[in-house]
Amino acid sequence: MPERRTTPRKKFFFYMRVINDDTQEILGHMVEVGAIGLQLETTVPLPLQKDYYLRLELTSDLADRPYIIFIARSKWCKMDDIEPNLYRVGFEIVEIMPDDREIFLRILAKYGK
């Protein structure tokens, strides 16, 4: 698959789970993060071009609230190259409040490598 990403992503080395805010189910955890998107590692494949209300639970060093919620669209999904029982799913952020964007960028700066 040719690279179509227009902004760089950073590997994410802090375990931060991502929750589907509609169902309260854990979707997976972040493995890469960028200014306009993120990549999750999940245990099930997710449908493409679907919008999700994603919730990131925060630590006190990131914000004075327990979580942020934003809308992200699944753009691609593929089986992990090493672990065949895991999937990598790429999301594009579709809508995020300005204050939450600042927190998201803080997460990127603090935990992205």
Place of tokens 């006190």: 60
Instruction: Name the DSSP class of 91.
Output: E
The whole-model pTM stands at 0.85
Q: Domain coordinates of the chain in residue numbers? A: 9-111
Tell me the pLDDT tens digit for each residue of 31-80: 888 888 999 999 999 999 999 999 999 888 889 999 999 999 999 999 99
Question: What's the topology of domain 9-111?
Answer: Thrombin, subunit H (2.40.10)
| Segment holding 106, helix H or strand E | helix 98-111
Angle at 48 between CA 40 and CA 35, to 5 degrees: 45
Beta strands in the chain (DSSP E): 9-11, 17-20, 25-34, 37-42, 51-57, 67-79, 87-95
